[in-house]
Every structure is written in C-alpha cells, then in structure tokens.
Structure 1
Amino acid sequence: MPKALPLALHGLHFFYRFLSPGLPGLAVRLMWQTFRPRRRPLRAEQSQLLAGAELFSFTSAGALTSKTIRLQGYRWGTGPRTVLLVHGWEGNPADFRELVPGLLRQGYAVAAFDLPAHGRSEGAETNLVEMKQALVDYTHFAGQPYAVVAHSLGGTAAALLLQDAAAPVEKFVFVASPLSAPDAFEMVFTQLQVPQSVRRRFYQRLARHLRQPVEDIAFAPVERLRAHRLLAVYDATDERVVFERVQLYLAANAAIEPLVVSGVGHNRLLRHAPVVQRITDFIEA
C-alpha cells in the first residue's frame, strides 16, 4: 500500500487505532467486510483487450461451501501451448494487456478468467482457498497450461495450485505475490494500526472459516512447486509485500530466478517494459 493513507481509509484508521480495543467484536466484523473485493470498472484500454477475446465460461464448486458458481473466461490466439494469466485481488485479466501481444506473437494461446467475486464471474466474496479451487476447476475444464503468469494474490493462489498439481507446468512466473495469507493481511493491519488483540481475533475467525490455520496458506519450498522453471518478479519498494520475507524465501530457494526492480509499483510492474520483456523472454526460452 502507498505510504499516504487513502482518504477512504482515514475513518478506518481512526477506528482501529483508538476505538477497536474496546469494541473487538465490531472491529473484526468491520475488517471482514473490508476484505471483500470490490468490482472495479474497466478503463477503455482494458475493455478493448477483453472485447477482442474469445469468451468461455466454466463452473467452480466452492471449496468451503456447496455452492457452484460460474466463472467468466477469456482466450486469445490458437497456439498449441497455453499461457494462463491469473490476476490479483480486485484486478482483472486486462491487467496483463502489455504482456498478451508479445505472447501471441510468439505463437502461444493466452487464457485468463475473472476470479470468484471479480469482474463478470459470480460470487460476492472470496479468499485464497476459493481462488485456488477456481484454478483447480479451470485445469479440469481446459487442461494443464504450459505456463502460468500470476500477479499479487493470484500468484499466491497459483502457488497453492502447483503444490498439489497432478502434473507440473513448464514455467511459473509470480509477480509481486505475498508469500502467505498472513503477509497479505499484515500489510493492511500495520497501515491501519490494528491492535494485536483484534488481529488475533480476526485470524481465529478466518481459520474457522477456512478450516485450517491461516499460516498454513503459504508458498511451499521450490521443490514442492510443480513447475520446471520459476521466475519471481518484485519491486523492492513495494509496500504491499513483505520484501524482507521475499528475500529470505528466494535465498532459501535458489532454483527460482529472481527479477528485482525498484520504484515501479505493485500494479505498474505488469506494465513496466523491462519486466514485460523479461517475462516474455522467460516463457519463450
């Protein structure tokens, strides 16, 4: 998150810093609502990319509920090998608009879909467990892709997919991805100055909802990720990830090729020309 607190969050910041210790139940309920994704309107250039895609849809059976939802997919090109793009929280497939043309020129088919509760897909809320399940259901529908390129929490969900995949993908690129569910939450908690007591209550409720400890939802060591080659892309100044943890993870998993830049930004990484070129070259190599 940026250093300057967005205007819309000033009220939450005041509440969590000064009032939430005396109202922990309300604080947790409010935080639960804060982490529901908002469907953001598309910009003109994003709409243009999606308008040129072949549409498809498939269903995903809720990992935590018995509810089945329809997910909206997009496909470009007809190449024999498919690169699957996975957007991040409150993102959409058009976030990859700078990357798609290069992959198509290299002869790949490119596929993406709106994650649950995003874009034109169904659902009112989602989480990493449901996002992973959507990726599992995509592979059942379309088959295992040749490569996966994923941004932010989409990369975390894709890593969870690859830990349990029946067959490996050839390439996996994760861009600005938190290494665990707590890492993603803690960046927001720190910015809003949420007291530790409220954080503990939130994690307890979330663990009950997810039916597993929250800290277990994390990147595995590289030997457990079913991908032949991996590329990690980060901005060292990105305040939406815990970069110190990223450095430790990459040092302990030397088989992952790193690309670290500075001063680009969490979302702008996907539009930064040197990053786009490196990802394109990595997929083609």
Structure 2
Amino acid sequence: MSLKKHIRFITVKTVGQYINFLSYVRPQKAVALSYALFSQPRIGRLNKSSLPKVLQNTETETFHHNEHHFQTYIWKGNETKILLVHGWESNSARWKKTLPHLQKSGSTIIAIDAPAHGQSSGKEFNVPLYAQFINKAVEKYQPTIIIGHSIGGAACVYHQYLFPNTSINKMVILGAPSDLKTLMDNYVSMLSLNSKISSLLENRFLTNFNFKVEDFSGKKFASNINVPGLIAHDISDKVVAFEEGKKIASKWKNSQFIETNGLGHGMHDDELYQKVIDFLFDEQNK
C-alpha cells in the first residue's frame, strides 16, 4: 500500500470510528455527518472565470428550479440534440473526449452540471434532484438522445422511469450503478460504520425522499423503460461493479449490453464510441 493510500485508509477508518462513537452519544449528529459525507461531493466544482477549455466557447444557460440553479453548455449543430449527463465528483468537462465523436454526427450537444457540481448550486447531490434538473433541460431543449455516465447514467434511468413520455427516443448508459442499497452497503463497509448508523441512514433516506433504500433500484426502474438503450460497463471498473451494469440491462427489454475490458470507470475508448455512434445513428437502429 502506498503512503498516500495508507494515510487515506487511516483517515477513513478514523472518521468511521468517530461517527460510530457519536452514534451512542449524539445519534442525530452522527447520522447528519454520515449522510453529508455520503451526499456532498468534495471535487467537481467549476469557477466561471477559469472554465476548462472545452467549456469556454459554448453557449451557456442557467436554469432555476425551486431554490436551486443549474448550468448547461451547448455546442451548436443541427436539429438532432444530445443531452450529456455526468457522474459523481465530475462536471460537464468530463465529456471532452466524447465530444469529437458525437460532433461527427453534426448534432447539437448539450451538457448539464449536476447538483453541487460544476457551476450548479447546492452542497448536496442526490439522484431525485438530478432527475428534476434533467427533466427541466429535456423540456427546454427537446433532445432525442440522452447519454449518462456513472451516477449520471443512474439519474437518466430514474428520469425515464419518472417521465416516460418525453422527446427522448434513445439512451446510452455508461458505467452506471443500479442499486442504492449496494452504494450504501459499500459506503458503510468502507467506513466500518456500525449497524445503528446504517439503520439511521436508511431512515434518513426514507424521511428525505419517501422511499426505502432497497426500492431505489435502476434494475427496477429499467423494467418500465420502452425506449431503446445501450448499456456499457467495464469488467475492470473499480468504482462501480460490473454486475451493476448487468443488473440494469437484465430488466431493460429493449436494450443491448456491451462488456468492455481495460477501460476502467472512465469508459473513454474509440472503439466503444464507434459502437455508440452506430447504435444512435445507424438506420437499422431507428
């Protein structure tokens, strides 16, 4: 184990021990802290005055939704519109390697910054709020294609479940998790949190979002999706387990699954992108 990883391991375990201690003396503070660590990204913010080069010469639009605002970036093209939805601790600049492949089609491309990411507002990220942001963008831009990476892919699946009758007629999901329960179990395990905190966290989700953790499942949501989908996942993904992608594909009736090897979680690859383009624009797939 490298020194950096060793220090991180010690830090993570120490935080877990502290939360476990708090669970006995101040349980509400313990659950607030553990929920914040789970839902608040540490990186991914963007500063308007120093945007990454790929986002600098775009048309931008800021949307307001209740007390939130979120940012979009537009690369102008033809009438076909593609909406890009990034993942955890990232932002719209993550599509830098994807853009040239999509732009060959001549399409107009729109990227969205997630809650608490990029130039969007807030401290907390959650999929239900992200799905609302996505829906506002879908209503405004009327994209026919949506592409989501990682938890952005999970948000796309949830969005399609909530709002099945939109302009979207094709979806691409890259390296996405399926089950919130799996994410939660991994988080609890990583911090070695006790069963009391685990239970309190699950209750927090029930209170905040009115669903049980085990019911928030991309596999379940996908079983109601009718638009064609392409799901790709890498067998060496160390961030989101390969089985998560397979779960989503197993219940999505009109979908195809691509297994990749050696791309990790990023899923950037010329060959994969060509398969995505073929799926999106091949006449036989329309």
TM-score between the two structures when normalised by the length of structure 2: 0.84
Match of 1:37 among 35, 41, 49: 41
Q: 1:115 to 1:13 in 2, by over 3 A?
A: same
Distance in 2 separating the partners of 1:98 and 1:161? 25
Are the structure 2 counterparts of residues 41 and 252 from structure 1 closer, same or farther at C-alpha, using a change threshold of 3 Å?
closer
Write the deviation string for residues 143-199 of structure 1: whole angstroms up to 9, x where unpaired.
3x1111001111111111111222362210111111122222222222232233321
The residue aligned with 1:64 is none
CA distance in 2, matches of 1:247, 1:124: 31
Deviation (angstroms), 1:142: 2.2
Aligned residue pairs total: 270
Which secondary structure does the structure 1 equivalent of 2:240 belong to? coil
Are residue 170 (structure 1) and residue 174 (structure 2) matched? no
Residue 53 of structure 1: CA displacement? 1.4
Structure 1 residues 71 and 258, CA gap change in structure 2 (3 angstroms): same
- The 2-side partners of 1:239 and 1:160 are apart by 23
* Aligned-pair CA distance for 1:51: 0.8
Q: Distance between the aligned counterparts of 2:83 and 2:199, measured in 1?
A: 36
The Cα offsets for residues 51-86 of structure 1, whole Å up to 9 and x where unpaired, read as: 12111121223xxxxx2x221110002211101000
Counterpart for residue 263 of structure 2 = 264
CA distance in 1, matches of 2:6, 2:46: 20
Q: CA deviation at 1:254?
A: 5.4
Letter of the 1:38 partner, please give it. Answer: R
Contact 1:57 1:73 in 2 (8 A): yes
1:211 aligns with 2:214: no
Per-residue CA deviation, residues 129-154 of structure 1 (Å, 9 max, x unaligned), is 111111111122223x1111001111
Quick one: which amino acid aligns to residue 84 of structure 2?
L
Say if 2:238 is the partner of 1:234. no
Name the stretch that deviates more: 132-141 or 152-161: 132-141
Contact 1:75/1:109, CA 8 A, preserved across alignment: yes
Within 5 Å, which residues of 2 pair with 1:94-113?
94-113=93-112
Q: Return 5+ residue gaps in structure 2 as ranges.
A: none
The code of the aligned residue for 2:12 comes to: L
- Contact in 2 for aligned 1:55/1:75 (Cα 8 Å): yes
Contact 2:161–2:221 (8 Å) recurs in 1: no
The aligned counterpart of 2:13 is 13
Q: Select which of 271, 274, 278 maps to 2:275.
A: 278
Judge conservation of contact 2:172–2:276 (CA < 8 Å) in 1.
Answer: yes
Q: Is contact 1:173–1:232 with CA below 8 Å preserved after alignment? A: yes
Matched, 1:53 2:71: no
- Deviates most, 23-32 or 150-159: 23-32
Measure, in 2, the Cα distance between the counterparts of 1:31 and 1:96. 31
Matches of 1:83 and 1:248 in 2, distance apart?
Answer: 25
Consecutive unaligned residues of structure 1, counting only runs of 5 or more, are: 62-66
TM-score when scaled to structure 1? 0.84
Q: CA deviation at 1:213?
A: 1.9
**RMSD (CA atoms):** 2.5
Q: Secondary structure at the match of 2:115?
A: coil
3-state DSSP class of the match of 1:23?
helix
Partner SS state of residue 264, structure 1:
coil
